[in-house]
Amino acid sequence: MANWKVSHIEVQDVGDLAGVIVKARFEVSDSDQGRNGFANGEVTLLAPNADAFTAFDAVQHDQAVAWVKEALGEAVAAYEAQVKKQIDSQPVPKTEVKLPWMPKSELPVPKR
């Protein structure tokens, strides 16, 4: 599952509302079996709803991520697909369990 992070925001006063988050930079990352993928971008957020406005100091990260995803719409799936494609294009690192003092017959069989 992709991890979303808001890494930077721009704030303006909009009408009677002070401290409105109007733009956000974001990062999307994921990993699988030692392989990593990453994408980032910037989006202008949708206009705030004055009746349901969240004061700047009360905004939580999860809420900011939800606003980013809402503004991106269908592009959310494209960012996550880009990250998955990066991961899938990398070979799975091979790890071996070796102990120089143990005979091969006693070593555990590596899981794949």
Quickly state the pLDDT bin for 5 (edges 50, 70, 90).
very high
* Sign for the pseudo-dihedral over CA of 51, 57, 59, 60: negative
Structure confidence at residue 32 (pLDDT): 95
Query: 18-39: per-residue pLDDT in tens?
Result: 999 999 999 999 999 999 999 9
Per-residue pLDDT reduced to its tens digit, 90-103: 999 887 777 778 77
What is d(CA 110, CA 53) in angstroms, rounded to the nearest whole number?
A: 54
The reported pTM is 0.81
What is the average pLDDT score of the chain?
Answer: 91
In 3-state terms, what secondary structure has residue 73? coil
